[in-house]
Amino acid sequence: MSLELAIHKMTGLPAGNLSLKQRGLIREGYFADITIFDPKTVIDRATFEDPNQYPLGINFVVVNGEIEVDGGQRTPTLAGRVLHGPGYRR
């Protein structure tokens, strides 16, 4: 599977399937949820014994337009929020 197809299957495809408005694509007026990574160096360091480790190679993460990971380090920003699809009932 190509990197482009894998990214689509994790972003635009599920956002479209769940009818999440203004999500899953990089477009003007959409929520800025962006991960900037180096595909040559990304590696998950988490193990069963030590699961709370951040991966290497993910340099920046932007959630709702706010920087959550800067230079590979977490920031104190908590910009995420719960998203509900069309079948959600309160």
Taking the model in full, what pTM does it have? 0.79
Q: What is the pLDDT of residue 39?
A: 92
CB 60 within 8 A of CB 71: yes
61 by Cβ neighbours in 10 Å (0-12 / 13-18 / 19+) ranks as buried
Instruction: Note down pLDDT in tens along the chain; length 90 residues.
Output: 999 999 999 999 999 998 888 999 999 999 989 999 999 999 999 999 999 888 999 999 999 999 999 998 899 999 998 888 778 888
pLDDT at 69: 94
Q: Read off the tokens for 40.
A: 């040559």
With a CB cutoff of 8 Å and minimum separation 6, the contacts of 41 are 56, 57
- In this prediction, residue 35 carries a pLDDT of 94
Domain residue ranges of the chain, discontinuous segments joined by +: 1-26, 32-80
